[in-house]
């Protein structure tokens, strides 16, 4: 088999790349180790920066998002028993959108299949070769048969646990990493959200986030231990803990049946550079942020916009954008790494924190909610800084 761009991973990054290339007349093959059903049902974060929603809209996959997505103009920060609003749209002119990542994935798969573009699901043992040659190749096992796809370029969009990064020779990449001593216990519940906007709450017992998926589905997260035993969390215990940690609002949370629960680890990670020869890493394959600022999906979409534009230019004979791919992505990646780390540090309880540390967190929260300049800085990061002009 031969294609122009071989794409490993059918998450938002890989699928969006295939979609944007298709619109420019560039062929690709997507290889995914899970089933279609699995990737479409995997519940992840669900907050799109306006820039992300615009990319989906402009590229023709925004129709359902426009109908079903919930546009938000602010968020609440709770601490010390009181609630404070960050007026994102008033401060920045931009809004955010709640639309589940798996809905984005469903829309992109539908678009891909509608145009007849190949996605090979349930492949295993993906291997890359010839990354520094003119024609690299991907091999994989599909239904018991070994296949080999020759390409011009390979996009490693295979997420945190992907294999593509591992085919870059030793010594090329530098890894930057930070682990956090906690995780998030996330739930999805059949309960109407009582707050119109997301609530980020700092509490003595740990951080809590109240968010939603639709007018009848609440999503919420509780700071927990990295090795938290889910069996120890009955529905009753989860709701009690949410009531306590989210106190400070006018309305009591609506409870409902918890239909999904899971533990999300918290990690910051970046590899530099994000490219080697003809392999380009994008999204979670190259960087991870803790979910506090909801930047993971948004960064993946930005990487892909930069990569798609650079590939289009390369096929027109101009390779300099491809050579600068990593450098152009990493500026935004590091801004988001800082913002996610900053929000995480301001809102979570760290074991061993002394009263001095607590006072620092509260002083920071009071500043962010009390100063227009500080609130604007937070709001522009949260809503997502405008994309840089990529023509330069
Ligand atoms: N071979 C083929 N596919 C693979 C392999 C492999 N060896 N390893 C992983 N994959 C697939 C995964 O099953 C997944 O579908 O690659 C895809 C990677 O998708 P994501 O993990 O969703 O990563 P990405 O597309 O970069 O999107 C970033 O995802 O992790 C969230 O919160 C994060 O929102 C962010 C977004
Ligand atoms: C979500 O809706 O799942 C969500 C929202 C904001 C975050 C993280 C997750 O910071």
pLDDT band of residue 181 (cuts 50, 70, 90) is very high
- Say how many Å lie between the CA of residue 67 and the centre of ligand 1: 26
pLDDT band of residue 45 (cuts 50, 70, 90) is confident
Residue 157 CB less than 6 A away from ligand 1: yes
% of the chain at pLDDT higher than 70: 99
* HSE (side-chain half, CA atoms, 13 Å) at 208: 22
* Helix, strand, coil percentages, rounded to 5, for the chain: 40, 30, 35
Measured by CA distance, the residue closest to atom 9 of ligand 2 is 45
- Say how many Å lie between the CA of residue 284 and the centre of ligand 1: 7
- Say how many Å lie between the CA of residue 283 and the centre of ligand 2: 17
pLDDT at 390 over 70: no
Query: Average pLDDT in the 141-156 region?
Result: 97
CA distance 306 to 365: 34
- Closest ligand 1 atom to the C-alpha of 105? 22
To test the ligand 1 pocket, which listed residue (7, 100, 109, 159) has its Cβ within 8 A of the most ligand atoms? 159
pLDDT band of residue 392 (cuts 50, 70, 90) is very low
Output phi, psi for 357, to 5 deg.
-60, -40
Residues within a 6 A CB radius of ligand 2: 45-47, 198, 209, 211, 219, 291-294
Residue 248: what pLDDT? Answer: 81
The model's pLDDT over 249-308, given as tens digits with 9 standing for 90+, comes to 778 899 999 999 999 999 999 999 999 999 999 999 999 999 999 999 999 999 999 999
Output phi, psi for 110, to 5 deg.
-60, -40
Q: How high is the mean pLDDT of the chain?
A: 96
Whether the bond into 273 is cis, omega within 30 of 0: yes
| Nearest ligand by distance to the CA of 38 | 1
Residue 118: what pLDDT? Answer: 95
- Closest ligand 2 atom to the C-alpha of 44? 3
User: Which among 106, 203, 287, 295 is annotated as catalytic?
Assistant: 295
Quick check: helix, strand or coil at residue 357?
helix
- The DSSP symbol for 83 reads E
* Between 251 and 24, the higher pLDDT residue: 24
Residue 391: what pLDDT? Answer: 42
Question: Alpha helix locations (H) across the chain?
Answer: 12-23, 36-41, 50-58, 63-68, 88-92, 101-114, 235-245, 296-315, 320-323, 325-347, 355-370, 372-383
pLDDT at 350 over 70: yes
382 is annotated as an active-site residue: yes
- Those residues with Cβ within 8 angstroms of residue 321's Cβ, 6 or more apart along the chain or in another chain: 309, 310, 313, 314, 328, 390
| Nearest ligand by distance to the CA of 296 | 1
Q: Which of 147, 119, 149, 114 is nearest to 36 (CA)?
A: 119
Pick the range with the lowest mean pLDDT from 47-61, 244-258, 337-351. Answer: 244-258
Measured by CA distance, the residue closest to atom 4 of ligand 2 is 45
> What is the token pair recorded at 95?
């809004």
- Say how many Å lie between the CA of residue 210 and the centre of ligand 2: 8
- Say how many Å lie between the CA of residue 15 and the centre of ligand 1: 10
3-class SS letters over 258-274? EEEEEEEEEEEEEEECC
Residue 249: what pLDDT? Answer: 78
Burial class (CB in 10 A: 0-12, 13-18, 19+), 335: middle
Residue 21: what pLDDT? Answer: 98
């Amino acid at each position: 088999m031969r294609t122009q761009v071989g794409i490993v991973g059918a998450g938002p990054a890989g699928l969006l790349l295939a979609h944007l290339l298709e619109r420019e007349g560039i062929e690709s093959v997507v290889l995914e180790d899970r089933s279609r059903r699995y990737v479409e049902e995997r519940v992840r974060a669900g907050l799109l920066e306006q820039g992300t929603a615009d990319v989906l809209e402009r590229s023709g996959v925004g129709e359902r998002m426009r109908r079903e997505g919930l546009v938000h103009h602010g968020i609440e920060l709770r601490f010390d028993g009181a609630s404070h609003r960050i007026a994102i749209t008033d401060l920045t002119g931009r809004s955010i959108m709640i639309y589940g990542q798996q809905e984005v994935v469903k829309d992109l798969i539908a678009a891909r299949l509608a145009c007849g573009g190949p996605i090979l699901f349930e492949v295993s043992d993906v291997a890359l070769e010839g990354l520094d040659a003119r024609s690299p190749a991907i091999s994989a096992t599909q239904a018991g048969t070994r296949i080999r796809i020759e390409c011009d370029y390979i996009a490693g969009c295979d997420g945190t646990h992907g294999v593509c990064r591992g085919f870059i020779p030793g010594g090329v990449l530098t890894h930057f990493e930070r682990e956090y001593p906690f995780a998030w216990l996330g739930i999805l519940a059949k309960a109407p959200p009582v707050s119109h906007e997301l609530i980020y709450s700092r509490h003595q017992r740990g951080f809590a986030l109240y968010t939603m998926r639709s007018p009848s589905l609440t999503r919420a997260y509780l700071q927990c231990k990295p090795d938290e035993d889910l069996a120890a969390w009955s529905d009753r215990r989860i709701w009690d803990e949410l009531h306590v940690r989210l106190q400070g609002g006018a309305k009591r949370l609506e409870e409902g049946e918890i239909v999904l629960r899971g533990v999300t680890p918290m990690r910051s990670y970046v590899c530099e550079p994000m490219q080697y020869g003809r392999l380009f890493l994008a999204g979670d394959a190259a960087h991870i942020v803790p979910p506090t600022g909801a930047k993971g999906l948004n960064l993946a979409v930005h990487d892909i916009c930069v990569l798609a534009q650079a590939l289009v230019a390369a096929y027109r004979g101009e390779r300099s954008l491809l050579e600068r791919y990593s450098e152009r992505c990493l500026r935004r990646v590091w801004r988001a790494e800082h913002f996610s780390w900053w929000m995480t540090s301001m809102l979570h309880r760290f074991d061993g924190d002394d009263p001095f540390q607590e006072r620092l967190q509260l002083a920071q929260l009071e500043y962010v909610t009390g100063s227009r300049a500080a609130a604007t800085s937070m709001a522009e990061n949260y809503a997502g800084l405008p994309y840089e002009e990529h023509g330069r």
